[in-house]
Structure 1
Amino acid sequence: MSNRDETFAKVAEAIEPFNKKGIDLTEATTFAGDLEWDSLTVMDFVAAVEDEFDIIITMNMQAEIETVGQLVDAVEKLRA
């Protein structure tokens, strides 16, 4: 399993408590559209991801991240 695959698995695990609709996650799953998250859910989730990976995701980065795959790429970049 590659580092990116491991990161995807950890991100998917972090999404689980917030995945109220039970959506099957893919790289293309969107937070606003598919998961139907509001801004409060996003903030809670971002905090969980930051804690899990010991990173800081800036507001500018958050604004650009729309899919699970984009989040995995951002986490990988921040951890490098």
Structure 2
Amino acid sequence: MTDRSEMFDKLKELIGPFNKKGVELSDSTTFAGDLEWDSLTVMDFVAEVEDSFDIVITMNLQAEIENVGQLVDAVLKLTN
């Protein structure tokens, strides 16, 4: 079982290549607002997360995830 801070660090690494603006990441960092991701970037990133953790993030769940903290919690739940 991975703890929350380890999961945050792993996801931070995955976000890195998609973080074109070099935004400092925190739980409250939003994908649409702070990182300014478009829908294509979101889909590419979701595929990267799914491949890395061998999980499936449903479209309904994706719609609920607005910031990094919510993503950390969702991936923790899906991997445990």
| TM-score class normalised by the smaller sequence | over 0.9
Q: Trace 1:1-80 onto structure 2 (pairs within 5 A).
A: 3-80=3-80
- Structure 1 segments, 4+ long, off by >3 Å, are none
* TM-score of the pair, normalised by structure 2: 0.96
Residue segments in structure 1 that go unaligned for 5+ positions in a row: none
Distance 2:56 2:3 in 1: 19
Deviations for 1:14-69, whole angstroms, at most 9, x for unmatched residues? 00000000000000000000000000000000000011111100000000000000
Distance 2:28 2:53 in 1: 21
Deviation at 1:5, TM superposition (A): 0.8
Between the two proteins, what is the percent identity of the paired residues?
A: 72
